[in-house]
Amino acid sequence: GQLTDQRFACRILEGELRFNMVNTVCLGVIHKVPAPGGMSAVGGTGSEYFYYDNGIISDSKLGTAEFTAYVQKEKSADGNYHRCATDEGEKKVEEGTHEKKTISIDLAALCKKFTAEDCPVLMGTLGLAEEPIPLWWTADMINASLGECWTAVPVAEQKWVVGEFNCSCVGISKCLPAYCKPDTPNVSWKDIPAEEAGHATKYGDIVGKEAAGMLGV
């Protein structure tokens, strides 16, 4: 593995954006927000996930995403402004300990820049100029704009950095019903609900098209 030395981006509390990519095609974005009091957006930690399709399985293309949180007025012992559980927010505001904050993210603009400007130079920047961009991969981005977490930053002035690339264990969550486990050893493609199987097929068709293009077929 590789470790990148970079400054701590406190805005991880606002969440990170996972771009789901097939070659240079963006299938969609997942906004992953750490659980109240937490710093990690990894699954299984209580973090909240919000899914934005890029016109692949719906008619909705990426646009502007907003997230509202109820944030502490005073920093915690770790020096950060944490949010509380959403269903406790209004009560905390009334008690005077928290305030309502809304962040805005221009997913369409980020995606356009990432695919049009960054992807063409990505492999060279990583010292892998002779290698093609992965067929199926993800990039997790964090808002590294200066200033306190949860303070508004004009979309045009936001600075996003990649905290992680992943091309080793990217899967299709739509196919989880076909995942063989000790309690479901005989499941198969036939066990995937029709709608989800249709979505998975659309993803697979894009993977196949992009793979053929990379191979010059």
Q: Tens digit of pLDDT for each residue in 138-194?
A: 999 999 998 889 998 887 888 999 988 999 888 788 899 999 999 999 999 999 999
CA dihedral sign of residues 44, 58, 202, 109: negative
Longest dimension (CA), the chain: 64
pLDDT value of position 197: 95
Q: What is the pTM of this model?
A: 0.91
Summarize the confidence of residues 28-35 as an average pLDDT: 95
- Please report how many Cα atoms fall inside a 13 Å half-sphere around the Cα of residue 4, on the Cβ side: 9
Average pLDDT, the chain: 92
135 in Cβ contact with 207 (< 8 Å):
yes
Q: Per-residue confidence at 1, pLDDT binned at 50, 70, 90?
A: low
The answer to whether residue 77 scores a pLDDT higher than 80 is yes
56 in Cβ contact with 27 (< 8 Å):
yes
